[in-house]
Structure 1
Amino acid sequence: MVGHGNHRLKFSIFHHRSSSTSKPDRPIHYPPEYLCGISRSLMADPVVVSSGQTYERLSVRVCQDFGFSPTDDDGSTADFSSVITNRNMKLTILKWCDNNGIEHPQPPDYTSIELIVRQLMEKQRQNNRFLASDTDLLRVVADKRPGVAVHAATEVGLRVNRFQLNSPPQTEEIVRESTILPFKTQPSCYAPPPQTEEIGRESFDREGNSEEESRIISKFRSDNEFEQQEGVISLRNLTKSDESIRASLCTKELLASLLPLVSSRSMNIQINAVASVVNLSIEKSNKMKIVRSGFVPPLIDVLDRGSAESQEHAAGSLFSLSLDDENKMAIGILGGLPVLMNALRSENERTRNDSALCLYHLTLNPSNRVKLVNIGAVGVLLSLTRIEGFASRILLILCNIAACVDGRSAMLDANAVDCLVGMLKEKEMDSESTRENCVVALHALSQGGFRFRGLATAAGAVEALREVEERGSERAREKAKRILQMMRTGGNGSVQMDGVDSGGVSWTGRVGVGLNRYSTNTTKF
């Protein structure tokens, strides 16, 4: 019997206790965040996927093999297009096991996960069949308003697309109709040379890149700071001139030797090293290479503690890297969001602007929107709308945040309605795009239903929106009209009741706690 018991314990990590303890067995309550959302078992190798959830790595692989995207308890659908190891979660789980005398979890076998995934697939098919035959639910779907654009144009360039808010039950996601990047795609600190400035380009093209690359790498690896500085200056000049040079020089060997120089104690070396990263990142094919080579953490550190010029280039690098969808989640996971938020207060205008544009692109990723909400960024962003010439960029970020339930709730709590309506009432604004972005943000918040209606009425939104409806841009007029219609009719009846008292107390005239539109938030991230 003893041998049989040991054999049974070998295959069960849920009830095994360390032999060093004499305490009797008792039910173990695992923290839900330590369990894989697919296998419901303690994760041995947790990974973060593109949509922000954490799963066991093998569970993700099996789902990918079967082309299956599970739906979480909150209604969100997993996106497995990219997978990043969640080392922090793994260490936390192992520490929790040690503290509780539990054996470390072992990776599951493929067959057991395959069985679970097949069961989930069958369950999802059954649910879809039920929904398709339920006439009442179909009627509700038919009555729902179609997805509406939540994004706005910017003053930087022509809008090449629109973003729509697709709102299936319990999920809200920004859907791209075409290529993103409605504004500039190059950092402020990047300035290509005039056409007449060749910087040795002909010689470089003729000799090929291998000899020049070897020379630069040799200087990078030298113990002499003067040679290191020569190397980064040479790379900065070469990569500023031509995209073919940027593509050919961005090799694993060169990136590996350049990486330590980004953290150099020499200010001149660091400035030119980070500027070289900016130039290399301009080339689309280089963006993922740079991130996978480990540049994000040192760039974040430079943005946080480097010199003013180094910070400017670091912000430009992160902005350029964030244009690649595959990099968005990585920058968020590696700690870029709080540092970028602090950089919004920089005295350097280029650092501020590139940090704002980087945050805009990062918040196109759902998990980054939630992270920003959780670190208390909403109140800070609202206070920054008071900075002249900066409001439009901040409003772009707020529009993205308002596209998710958590973000919308946080904005309503922070008096965003009062702040945005106050901006609309001002006779002079930075630009027409600022006014338009302001109305688009209000439109996204209007999905809050009764609560928004009360806050908007108290803030005097009707008068401000009517003026926009008469004199604003075409897009602003359209959004203002929809908000006013919602305030008159109460929307489609699908209303969030966040914060509404159980006794049915009206929200009219009630203002959420937070900052008013004239306050300054000095939160340090």
Structure 2
Amino acid sequence: MDASVKCLVNSISRFIHLVLCQTIKPVPIQKHYRIVADLLKLLKPVLDEVVDYKMHSDEIIYKECEELDMAINEAREFIENWSPKMSKIITALKSESLLMKIRSSSLKICYILCRLLQSSSSNSNLTGIQEIQCLKHEKITEKIEEAIRSQRNNVFPCTKDLMKITELLGLTSQELLKESIAVEKERMNAEVSEIKGELDQINQIVDLVSHIRDCMVKTGRFEATTGIAIPPYFCCPLSSELMLDPVIVASGQTYERSSIQKWLDHGLTICPKTHQMLMHTNLIPNYTVKAMVASWCEENNVKLPFNSDHTTVVSVPSLPDHVSSQVLVRTDSFKCSVYSSNSTSRSSLEVGNGFDKQKRGVSPILCGEKSNGCYSREKCHISPEHSYNHSRSESTSSAPFSIDSVPPALIEVSGKPSKPEIVNELSGEITSECYATPPNKESGISPWLSVKQLHISKTKAEVVGNEHLNNLYKESSSLNSVSEELATASHAKRLVEDLRSNSKEVQTTAAEELRRLAKHNVENRIVIGQSGAITPLLSLLYSETNLTQEHAVTALLNLSINEDNKVMIAEAGAIEPLIHVLKTGNDGAKENSAAALFSLSVLEEYKARIGRSGAVKALVNLLGSGTLRGKKDAATALFNLSIFHENKARIVQAGAVKYLVELMDPDTGMIDKAVALLANLSTIGEGRLAIVRGGGIPLLVEIVESGSQRGKENAASILLQLCLHSPKFCTLILQEGAVPPLVGLSQSGTPRAKEKAQQLLSHFRNQRGGATGKGKS
């Protein structure tokens, strides 16, 4: 008896200390466990007296002490393992269940101790027991349980109850998006564990979150600045926010791009609304809804932000002069399809990076400068087999990138196709040479739209929207001839002379003009390159005027789309000036400098030169402290450099692994890029050690479980490298619970991912077999 009570007292002390030290746990966890701590504070002196006076007790109190001890330890573990990424609803239900269990056990012990202490003189302890018996708490899960009961009876939960749940748990629109992702991941985990009762409860919670989302949309959202009610059909079904960048998924449903992209980035491949399995993860812009939203915003004087990081349709007059005068399109997907009409596949590179060696033919054509988040490109072809995703690369290198082909989208307005453009994510510009094939040339509407949606698309609102888009098209077309101005040799030479002027203003203007001319036209790049512009542009990279420096580096970037120019830029000694820009330039200049280095690294002999020049450290610094666009450019450049074996150690020694591990967080949107680069670095000992020391194993296991197909493939490859070279690392991987997701990957991943998963599982079995054999001998 004494031993069980002493253990219980010790557990109570540890629990109280843990709760008092918690300062970041949000409601409802904090509220629940402070109640538990208050209850246990009252119980502890009573138990202390039982131990001090060695009071006689029976078997019942012995069992109750053991049960309470187990419940307290379970609650303590729950607090320690809690993460902000966990579902708030599931957390509330679990924590309240533990609270009730602890309270029930405490009361049972109190009833027994009341009897034992009645003969004792300790009236204070009797008072403490009475306080425990009188301690009440408000059940914040009451509304949740009531809503779930309604669902089980096939009744839609009460709107008032649903709104109360969102209020109690603080489910704002963004929090609701996180909640949707969290409960869906819990559902996937429950399916794997095959615990029927648990899966049934999770399914009920998934339905509840869906009802809450519908309720938030139907009850009305209000625009922040004007207070005007937003029409429900303009709100994203996933985040309940106004859809400024609506996209269609494979199920035919429309969502806000940023919301559905977060959903997909967490490895979720079902439609949040219909729960259909998505046959692909391509996001097709819904221009009809976008036009309707724009029209509604205009009518209600709601400011529509055009500088979003996502797909944007804009009219030319509102754009800065360095942005393409066409209707610009941008996608945050890493996946793109790129074509070439005037370039041939230049190299077939066999990559010896610890992956399966694959021959890859890639046209080393550079894609142009930054503008509204998109990159100018000549048309080039990239094999969908590549194992690295990078949507911006200004130069489409011979590196083994994994750029999966998607059905590209063409903007069409009232039957008129827009200027052909290529859709891509990286910073840069869209040139007139680039194009993408439409999913449906007849209507400009996604082929996945349902019959009902096609019927709705003929409404008056759509006609108004199409007229609005048509106006945008006409405006952009009217300025198109200006934006594609051809440069004559004499004009180019005058601009080159201006680059050498003593006037900083003249230099800046000339660099900006060359940047603009090189942005759009193949012939202009050739003329400018032959006019001798490269050397003076390189000298302006040392300019103390940030704007001049940015125009110069971006002009060089656009010029390097041409193969002859690329070679001339490299031979003119561009590496050092570009490194200088990486260290001293503004954000835009740094981004385009990193992209230019990537472009030069396409030339095989320059991978080694760039690596030895000190560029690696500057790129790693950009990877750690740059803008999101800069980080993506740095990751692309470093990946291409890492193909040259000698550079791998330089990248690791520069501290890249720490940043890459941080970028494996889904919120960064850079998981696939980070994992692909880490896969190359994991082929050397220093790289493997840095990955483990940086805390990469848990994140890699999580990516194997819930990442994209390409992410899972590269994560499995890294884990295999770690296991093959260190039994200690292998043990750490097993301790992170890698076996279940690897089993799943071995059955449903890409062919290469399946192979890596099977090799890992086989390695685990062999290790166990070897250990068993040693034990028997």
CA distance in 2 between partners of 1:343 and 1:409 (Å) = 23
Q: Provide the rounded CA distance (Å) in 2 between the counterparts of 1:463 and 1:298.
A: 50
Please point out which of 207, 230, 247 is paired with 2:509.
230
* CA separation of 1:246 and 1:236: change in aligned 2, threshold 3 A: same
Q: 1:220 corresponds to which residue?
A: 499
Q: Provide, for residues 113-151 of structure 1, a one-character-per-residue CA deviation record: whole Å limited to 9, x for no partner.
A: xxxxxxxxxxxxxxxxxxxxxxxxxxxxxxxxxxxxxxx
CA distance in 2, matches of 1:487, 1:412: 18
Aligned to 1:441: 718
Residue 539 (structure 2) pairs with residue 260 (structure 1) = yes
Q: Secondary structure at the match of 1:442?
A: helix
Tell me, which stretches of 5 or more residues in structure 2 are unaligned? Answer: 1-332, 339-344, 363-381, 396-425, 434-476
Shift of 1:390: 0.9
Partner of 2:113: none
Tell me the amino acid that sits aligned with residue 673 of structure 2: R
Deviations 1:349-404 (A, max 9, x none): 22121111111101001111011222333233222212531111011110111123
Shift of 1:319: 2.3
- Equivalent residue, structure 2, for 1:499: none
Letter in 2 for 1:242: N
How far is the alpha carbon of 1:302 from its aligned partner? 1.8
Instruction: Say if 2:360 is the partner of 1:178.
Output: yes
Larger deviation, residues 447-456 vs 383-392: 447-456
Instruction: Measure the CA separation in 2 of the matches of 1:478 and 1:173.
Output: 11
Deviations 1:132-190 (A, max 9, x none): xxxxxxxxxxxxxxxxxxxxxx9424799996648xxxxx7985522256455427232
Quote the offset at 1:345 in angstroms. 3.3
**Secondary structure in structure 2 of the residue aligned to 1:421:** helix
Aligned residue type for 1:191: E
Q: Deviations over 1:279-299 (max 9, x none)?
A: 012223322321221222222
Q: TM-score, normalised by structure 2?
A: 0.39
Report the secondary structure of 1:385's partner residue: coil
One-letter identity of the residue aligned with 2:577? P
Give, in angstroms, the shift of residue 480 of structure 1.
0.9
How far apart are 1:491 and its partner, in Å? 12
Q: Does 1:470 align with 2:747?
A: yes
**Worse-matched range after superposition: 457-466 or 357-366:** 457-466
Distance 1:174 1:483, change over 3 A: closer
- Aligned residue for 1:146? none
From 735, 740, 760, give the equivalent of 1:483: 760
Pairwise mapping of residues 261-300 of structure 1 onto structure 2 (< 5 A)?
261-300=540-579
Of 585, 591, 613, the match for 1:306: 585
Change (3 A) 1:480 1:297: same
- C-alpha contact 2:486 2:517 (8 A) present in aligned 1: no
Is 1:319 matched with 2:637?
no
Asked whether the 8 Å contact 1:424–1:438 carries over to 2, the reply is yes
Structure 2 CA distance for partners of 1:325 and 1:203, relative to 1, 3 Å: closer
Classify the secondary structure of the residue corresponding to 1:190. Answer: coil
- Structure 1 398/298 Cα, relative in aligned 2: closer, same or farther at 3 Å? same
2:420 is the counterpart of 1:191: no
Give 3-state SS (helix, strand or coil) of 2:624's partner.
coil
Gap change, CA 1:165 and 1:230, over 3 Å in 2:
closer
Match of 1:421 among 684, 701, 705: 701
How far has the Cα of 1:198 moved from its partner? 4.4
1:394 and 2:674 correspond? yes
Cα distance in 2, alignment partners of residues 467 and 277 from structure 1:
47
Say which of 330, 334, 349 aligns to 2:609. 330
Q: Please give the alpha-carbon distance, in whole angstroms, between the structure 2 residues aligned to 1:378 and 1:203.
A: 45
Could you state the TM-score of these two structures normalised by the residue count of structure 1? 0.56
Contact kept? 2:607, 2:644, Cα under 8 Å: yes
8 Å CA contact 2:486–2:521 kept in 1: the answer is: no
Query: What SS does the aligned partner of 1:178 have?
Result: strand
How much is the aligned-residue C-alpha RMSD, in angstroms?
A: 3.4
**Unmatched tracts of structure 1, length 5 or more:** 1-153, 167-171, 494-504, 507-525
Deviation sequence 1:16-39 (CA, Å, 0-9, x none): xxxxxxxxxxxxxxxxxxxxxxxx
- For 2:647 and 2:531, the matched residues in 1 are separated by 28
Distance 1:186 1:240 in 2: 12
Distance in 1, Cα, partners of 2:717 & 2:657: 16
**Counterpart Cα distance in 2 of 1:287 and 1:369:** 24
> For 1:235 and 1:255, how far apart are their aligned partners in 2?
11
For 1:156, the aligned partner's letter is K
1:250 aligned counterpart, secondary structure: helix
Query: Residues of 2 paired with 1:472 and 1:202: CA distance?
Result: 49
**Does residue 364 of structure 2 align to residue 156 of structure 1?**
no
- Using a 3 Å threshold, how does the CA distance of structure 1 residues 176 and 474 change in structure 2: closer, same or farther? closer
Q: Distance in 1 between matches of 2:630 and 2:612?
A: 21
Match of 1:54 in 2: none
Q: Alignment partner for residue 357 of structure 1, among 599, 621, 636? A: 636
Give the Cα separation in 1 of the matches to 2:606 and 2:733.
Answer: 37
Counterpart Cα distance in 2 of 1:237 and 1:296: 23
Question: What amino acid is aligned across from residue 186 of structure 1 in structure 2?
Answer: E
Query: Does structure 1 conserve the Cα–Cα contact (< 8 Å) formed by 2:649 and 2:687?
Result: yes
- What is the identity, as a one-letter code, of the residue corresponding to 1:411? I
Separation (CA, whole Å) in 1 of partners of 2:486 and 2:566: 26
User: CA 1:179/1:487 → structure 2, altered by over 3 Å: closer, same or farther?
Assistant: same
Amino acid of the structure 1 residue aligned with 2:745: V
In the TM superposition, residue 221 of structure 1 has moved relative to its aligned partner by 0.7
**SS of corresponding position for 2:533:** helix
Assess, with a 3 A threshold, how the Cα gap between structure 1 residues 393 and 228 changes in structure 2: closer, same or farther: same
User: Secondary structure in 2 aligned to 1:223?
Assistant: coil
- List per-residue Cα deviations over 1:242-299 (Å, max 9, x = no partner): 2233234224832221112122122221221111011012223322321221222222
183-192 or 216-225: which moved more? Answer: 183-192
- Deviation of 1:406 after TM superposition, in Å, equals 3.7
Q: Is the 8 A contact 2:704 2:711 kept in 1?
A: no
Which letter maps to 1:382?
Answer: V
**Relative CO higher for 1 or 2, CA cutoff 8 Å, sep ≥ 6?**
1
Amino acid at match of 1:393: K
1:411: how far off? 3.0
Q: Once the two structures are superposed, what CA deviation does each residue of 1:391-442 show, in whole Å capped at 9, x if it has no partner?
A: 11011110111123443344345443343124434x5x4x333223222222
Q: Alignment length, in residue pairs? A: 330
Alignment of 1:374-393 (within 5 A): 374-386=653-665, 387-393=667-673
- For 2:427, give the aligned amino acid: C
- State the percentage of identical aligned residues: 27
Letter of the 1:189 partner, please give it.
S
Name the amino acid aligned to 2:573.
Answer: G
